[in-house]
A and B are shown apart, each in its own frame.
Chain A
Amino acid sequence: MEGTPPTAVINTRALTKHYGSVPALTDLTLDVAQGEIFGFLGPNGAGKSTMIRTLLGFLHATSGSATVLGRDVATESVEIRRLTGYLPGGIALYDSLNGEQVLDYLADMQGRTPHRRQQLCDRLELPTSVLKRKVRDYSRGMRQKIGVVQALQHDPELAILDEPTEGLDPLMQQAFYAILDDLRREGRTVFFSSHVLSEVERLCDRVGIIRAGRLMAIHDVGELLARRRRRVTLRWRGAAPDPSTLPGLEDVQVDGNRLIGTLSGEVAGFIRSIASPNLDDLTIEPASLEEAFLEYYASDEGSDEPQRDGR
């Protein structure tokens, strides 16, 4: 496809999906490179699952095009699914089977050896005694673990995970993050949707922000965090300096010898500018993606123009 990077694992061009007259995805253009963990971020109903289901052939695009692992989603979805591991949001399993039977059945249907299964079960604390129990007796978290294992057990080239940590307790979330870190190290590509900002921040190389079916922005997570505004508190011995002499500091409030404001842009230049023996204390609150995300949504209300940086 013209304009597609050679290593793009997922590539969409003006991908559009309408349900009747209702737009679910509009002109979505996106590349996900091999070996990256890409977070697809947006509130419920933004179009995250629609995008994933279109990539896997569950939905048919109204217009535009998409390839996954170099295969056209419209004509080669079976081959795409052979190479992909998919965890649906709120996964449903076969209640009459036990966990092991479910994994065996789905591995057989996948047609690939589930050689990662044991390792995944160990890390997600799914011992044989649990796998021998009927799925109908599983808690939501147990089902989600089985969902993760079935998606990754055959070591797919691409993992597409829809809200993967839903229902997992914090310990299991950490175990899951470690699994994704390993996949990244092994050069596997992971595309996952989430509205849990902290996990996107923790895991992703890049993040795409979608709203009302439109891709609003694609950012390197590192850059997004670096660019966001931080809350800064400075305390001086003696009178505080003139705020206009401090680069990047905005919305400044002076309270005696204390100076409170928001810092945007580069931190290093700001630190250099305040370096003084009279500086008694400095607090810079860590930038969280959650704030960046909320800030983004708040400031970008009404704008439909996508912003891009990173790859």
Chain B
Amino acid sequence: MSGRLLVQTLRWYRVRLLVVTLAAIAWGVIIPIIFDAFSDAVRDLANSGAFPEEMLNIGSGSLFTLPGSITLGLQHPLALAMLGIFAIGASATAIAGERARGTLEVLLARPISRNAVYVSILVALLISVVIVLVALLGGMIGASAAIGLVDELDLAQLPLVLLNGFLLWAGFATFGLATSVTFDRPGPAIGISVGWLLLHYFLEILGSLWTDAAWTQEYSLLHHFNPGEILTGKLDPIDLVVTAAAFVIPLVYALVVFPRRDLAAPA
């Protein structure tokens, strides 16, 4: 790994990272407040039968408990977008973008192996993902504490939430980087990486809304990160295994493929 490349990559991300972190804190703060303000009303609505209960349990989350709301908040498209800015957008463009611009050639003219370039960029992405994830969770727990609901959460499980969330989004980041080392242009890399995330979101939502298709959730990586359940002491170790596999497989692919690729002169 190159420390200089890592630092430079983080410098390039810094403004984006600051904006997204602030947005993540704000979103995190809103979730417990919404739960506190509307959970009773939502429960009444559910009991009235006006809405099918599935409609109020979107994804693996739930509007009826604070842990469920936290899961819902982290599976919400806004949270996915915030984390996806780095795990999908930045990762898919990291190498393919430099390749298309021609700057990868200048970088690789230095005494640095391609795998060192890959690892340096990956570490910068993972740092960014962790910061956004911590901002989201920090906002949620801080707001829960501020409104006196933190007792509903088993904070001793927080490291496991972070680990599981990290593995999930690191998996999307290694997938994005795997596409980035495969293509010469960022367009296909972004398209495939966004499609990968949308596929998992679709499987998760489809399974939660349609009981006959509940099995599809098992195939969604998003389903294997349920912070609400972890914060109530119900971590399924399979979730860690699945998300770890999703992290490692694209990583190994990239480490094998990238050094062996021919990098012809950029068009």
Residues of A within 8 A of B (CB): 19, 49-50, 53, 56-60, 78-79, 81-82, 84, 86, 88-94, 96, 105-106, 108-111, 150
Residues of B4-23 contacting chain A, CB below 8 A? 4-5, 8, 12
Please, how many angstroms separate the alpha-carbon atoms of A105 and B107 in the complex? 10
Contact check, B101 vs A92: say whether CB atoms are below 8 A apart: yes
Contact check, B112 vs A109: say whether CB atoms are below 8 A apart: yes
Contact check, A88 vs B102: say whether CB atoms are below 8 A apart: yes
When C-beta atoms are compared, the residue in chain A nearest to B3 turns out to be A108
CB distance from A223 to the nearest CB of B (A): 32
> 21 interchain pairs (CB within 8 A)?
A53-B263, A58-B105, A58-B108, A59-B262, A59-B263, A78-B112, A78-B113, A79-B111, A81-B108, A81-B112, A84-B109, A86-B109, A88-B102, A88-B105, A88-B109, A90-B102, A92-B101, A96-B12, A108-B4, A109-B107, A109-B111
Which residues of chain A are within 8 angstroms of B47 by Cβ–Cβ distance?
Answer: none
Residues of B227-265 contacting chain A, CB below 8 A? 260, 262-265
Please, how many angstroms separate the alpha-carbon atoms of A59 and B261 in the complex? 8
Contact check, B109 vs A81: say whether CB atoms are below 8 A apart: yes
Please, what's the 1-or-0 string for B1-45, where 1 marks a CB less than 8 Å from any CB in chain A?
010110010001000000000000000000000000000000000
Which residues of chain A are within 8 angstroms of B195 by Cβ–Cβ distance?
Answer: none
If A81-B109, A106-B110 touch, does A60 touch B262 (CB 8 Å cutoff)?
Answer: yes
Which residues of chain B are within 8 angstroms of A93 by Cβ–Cβ distance?
Answer: 103, 106
- Which of A19, A81, A90 contacts B110, CB < 8 Å? A81
Residues of B103-133 contacting chain A, CB below 8 A? 103, 105-113
Contact check, A110 vs B264: say whether CB atoms are below 8 A apart: no
Which residues of chain A are within 8 angstroms of B12 by Cβ–Cβ distance?
Answer: 96
Please, how many angstroms separate the alpha-carbon atoms of A108 and B112 in the complex? 11
B266 at the interface (CB under 8 A from A): yes
Which residues of chain B are within 8 angstroms of A105 by Cβ–Cβ distance?
Answer: 4, 8
Interface size of B by Cβ–Cβ distance < 8 Å? 23
Which residues of chain A are within 8 angstroms of B110 by Cβ–Cβ distance?
Answer: 81, 106, 109-111
Please, how many angstroms separate the alpha-carbon atoms of A90 and B263 in the complex? 15
- Which of A78, A82, A92 contacts B105, CB < 8 Å? A92
CB distance from A238 to the nearest CB of B (A): 61
Which residues of chain A are within 8 angstroms of B101 by Cβ–Cβ distance?
Answer: 92
- Which of A53, A94, A150 contacts B265, CB < 8 Å? A53
When C-beta atoms are compared, the residue in chain A nearest to B260 turns out to be A60
Please, how many angstroms separate the alpha-carbon atoms of A90 and B102 in the complex? 9
When C-beta atoms are compared, the residue in chain A nearest to B113 turns out to be A78
Contact check, B264 vs A91: say whether CB atoms are below 8 A apart: no
If A78-B111, A82-B111, A111-B111 touch, does A92 touch B266 (CB 8 Å cutoff)?
Answer: yes
CB distance from A15 to the nearest CB of B (A): 14
Please, how many angstroms separate the alpha-carbon atoms of A57 and B113 in the complex? 10
CB distance from B75 to the nearest CB of A (A): 34
Which residues of chain A are within 8 angstroms of B265 by Cβ–Cβ distance?
Answer: 49, 53, 88-89
Please, how many angstroms separate the alpha-carbon atoms of A283 and B109 in the complex? 49
Which residues of chain A are within 8 angstroms of B108 by Cβ–Cβ distance?
Answer: 56-58, 81
CB distance from A47 to the nearest CB of B (A): 11
Which residues of chain A are within 8 angstroms of B266 by Cβ–Cβ distance?
Answer: 92
Please, how many angstroms separate the alpha-carbon atoms of A82 and B109 in the complex? 8
CB distance from B133 to the nearest CB of A (A): 26
Please, how many angstroms separate the alpha-carbon atoms of A212 and B4 in the complex? 40
Please, how many angstroms separate the alpha-carbon atoms of A81 and B116 in the complex? 14
The 9 closest A-B pairs by CB, nearest first: A92-B102, A82-B111, A109-B110, A86-B109, A58-B263, A81-B111, A108-B4, A88-B105, A59-B262
- Which of A19, A84, A150 contacts B106, CB < 8 Å? A150
Which residues of chain B are within 8 angstroms of A82 by Cβ–Cβ distance?
Answer: 111
Please, how many angstroms separate the alpha-carbon atoms of A96 and B2 in the complex? 21
Which residues of chain A are within 8 angstroms of B109 by Cβ–Cβ distance?
Answer: 56, 81, 84, 86, 88
Please, what's the 1-or-0 string for B72-107, where 1 marks a CB less than 8 Å from any CB in chain A?
000000000000000000000000000001110111
CB distance from B91 to the nearest CB of A (A): 19
Which residues of chain A are within 8 angstroms of B260 by Cβ–Cβ distance?
Answer: 60
Contact check, B111 vs A110: say whether CB atoms are below 8 A apart: yes
Please, how many angstroms separate the alpha-carbon atoms of A86 and B102 in the complex? 14
